[in-house]
Amino acid sequence: MNLPRLSSRDRRALLLGAAVLASGVGWTAMVKPYIRAVREVSSTLAAERELLNRELRLLAAADQYPAEVEQAGARLLDVATRLFGGEKQAAASAGLIQYLQEGAGTGPALLTRLEPLPAEEEGNGLIGLPLSVEGETDLEGLLTVLHLLDAGPKLVRVENLRVQGRRAVAVDGPEVLSFVFVARGFSLAESESQDARSTETVGGSR
């Protein structure tokens, strides 16, 4: 079988088509995978660079961590000394009752009723310990008791204060006042209380 002779123009067209086909095959076989690989490597490098930057920032701030932890522990210990401690809330409430009785003795004031109310979560790791208080005293004694609760070493908040005057015992004596209020003390929640005791132990062992 004799193949037809190609003119020079046809041969050039055939060679050009072969070259175009070869370049297309080369693009598909080599160039496209190369570009895809470069993009994958670039993405990986960007992720690793961001991770490295985070690690460098952490290392740069590492010297601040011990001081911040120590300051937080000191603040917690300082707050804990103003709260009513105890393994259980009943013990903390008993501490609040004793604190009220000592303040009333300084007043002086006669406490006729002390009734613990249900504890309440106050947030930030604190438990509120409301205590219903009723008693009798004169105006000076009541003001003294309220001042001691407000400015004393323990954190106590007076709520719902009601005062009612009564006839004086003596004709020229001071008027007797009946008072009712809620004294709200505070204690740490169990986990925070354990942390405070641990901080106090570590601080005392230095």
Q: What are the angstrom distances between the C-alpha of 77 and each of 71, 103, 128, 156, 195?
A: 10, 24, 18, 17, 9
For the chain, which ranges sit under pLDDT 70?
A: 1-49, 51-53, 55-79, 167-173, 191-206
In 92-168, where do the E strands start and end? 110-116, 120-123, 126-137, 156-166
CB atoms within 10 A of CB 166: 10
| Confidence (pLDDT) at 49 | 67
Write the pLDDT tens digit of every residue in 12-54: 666 666 665 556 555 555 555 555 655 665 666 666 667 666 7
**Cα 163 to Cα 147: distance, rounded to the nearest angstrom:** 16
Write the pLDDT tens digit of every residue in 126-141: 899 999 999 999 999 9
The H or E element spanning position 55 is helix 32-61
| Confidence (pLDDT) at 202 | 45
| Confidence (pLDDT) at 85 | 84
Task: Please name each of the domains of the chain with its CATH number.
Answer: 79-193 (3.30.70.60)
